[in-house]
Amino acid sequence: MTRPRIVEWFETLVKVRGSDLHLAAQRRPAVRAQGEVVPIPETQALTDAELRGYLRELVTDAQWDAFRQGGDLDFAYEVPGIGRFRGNYLEQETGAGAVFRLVPEKIVPFEELGLPPVVGTLAELTSGLVLVTGPTGSGKSTTLAAIVDLINRAHARHIVTIEDPLEFVHTSKKSVVSHREVGRDTRSFSAALRAALRQDADVVLVGELRDAETISLAIEGASMGVLVFGTLHTSSAAKTVDRVIGAFPADQQDQARTSLADSLSAVVSQVLCRRAGGGRVAAHEILMRTSGVAGAIREGKTPMLHSIIGAGKGYGMQSMDDALAALVAAGAIDGREAYLKAADKARFRAAAAG
């Protein structure tokens, strides 16, 4: 079998320790490394026809037809000896485009990720809804994989992961792990989540809470005694709660607030920052369940969550701005980076200027 031509750029991505390969018609191939997207040396801009030829080599006839008909395609692709990639094809202004995210072959143990210790306690929960949030590429999947690995090593449970496409593959240890890929093993996130509630699952990881039906099922599962993990593209605990409630029709939002207040165990929001001296480091906002948190959600007073987090250090809570300030104090990031990522810009204005 002829080796796909894109593999050469996969090798470059791994060599420079990048995270993503970006391809677009009329542009040079580029990689994201150290947070910046830069062209691959000694490459030329690709014509639309050239790029489509390269992309066609990686997928099946059915996948290619789905891309041609829908204008998007998500899939996983593995190159033995190089790595596993999460691919996305898209139609864009100048023609075809694609982004490939390098998925680490090895699940990084929780102990090596440098996450706040309270995040590790989430692996000890037996029920509830835990949301890990942040922008694309912030490491949500890596964090969740580490937590699931903690559960897998310590507890005898049935863990079901539902992803599109499947990223991290867990070998069953003390737990039994079932992996389901949307489009291959199940029709949708909601269908798989509904099935998981009938499959004696103790823990369910939902790769993305995309719609009201999936969110509703996640909350329902948590209220039924299942530990449900999910992700959202939100940047703070308050915005996460508003996003969840806002997914429901107006006449259902009061009931959704009550259900979420009863089931939400934690929100971990994260963002990747440029580390001083090279590389990247994550900053986290953490909301843990307390009676005050449940009350604020139930009463629709989500702005109060910021002050609850500020007063909740004893429970392991921290705001994103406090996390950024701690990283600046430790010399891990500079003031300018903290300023760019902060909610309260005034707090970091002096540090950014210095």
pLDDT tens string 135-146: 988 999 999 999
Residues in the chain: 354
pLDDT tens sequence across 181-203: 888 899 898 999 999 988 899 99
Strand-strand pairing, 280-288 and 227-232: unpaired
Q: Residue 47's closest CA among 13, 1, 97, 120?
A: 97
Tell me the pTM: 0.85
pLDDT, one tens digit per residue, over 329-345 is: 999 999 999 999 999 99
The mean-pLDDT minimum among 201-205, 236-240, 350-354 falls in: 350-354
Average pLDDT over residues 108-131: 96
Domains and CATH numbers, the chain: 7-103 (3.30.450.90), 110-318 (3.40.50.300)
Per-residue pLDDT tens digits for 205-221: 998 898 999 999 999 99
**Tokens in use for 110?**
């929780």
Residue 9 banded pLDDT, cuts 50, 70, 90: very high
**Gap between the Cα atoms of 35 and 137, Å rounded:** 10
pLDDT number for residue 166: 83
pLDDT for residue 1: 58
Say what the pLDDT of residue 213 is: 92
- Tell me the pLDDT tens digit for each residue of 58-112: 999 999 999 999 999 999 898 988 888 999 999 999 999 999 999 877 899 999 9
Average pLDDT value over all residues in the chain: 94
What is the percentage of the chain residues whose pLDDT exceeds 70? 99
Six-digit token string for 262: 């009863």
- Taking each helix axis from N to C end, the angle separating 253-263 and 291-298, rounded to the nearest 10 degrees, works out to 170
What would the mean pLDDT of 24-46 be, rounded to a whole number?
93
Please report, rounded to a whole number, the percentage of residues in the chain having pLDDT higher than 90.
82
**What order of strands is seen across the sheet that includes strand 280-288?**
176-181, 158-163, 203-206, 227-232, 128-133, 264-274, 280-288
Is residue 144 within 8 A of residue 103, CB to CB? The reply is no
pLDDT average, residue stretch 165-184: 91
- What is the residue type of 125? L
Q: What is the pLDDT averaged over residues 245-252?
A: 96
Return the closest-CA partner of residue 300 out of 265, 261, 335, 339: 261
Residue 2 DSSP class: P
CA–CA gap between residue 218 and residue 201 (Å, rounded): 13
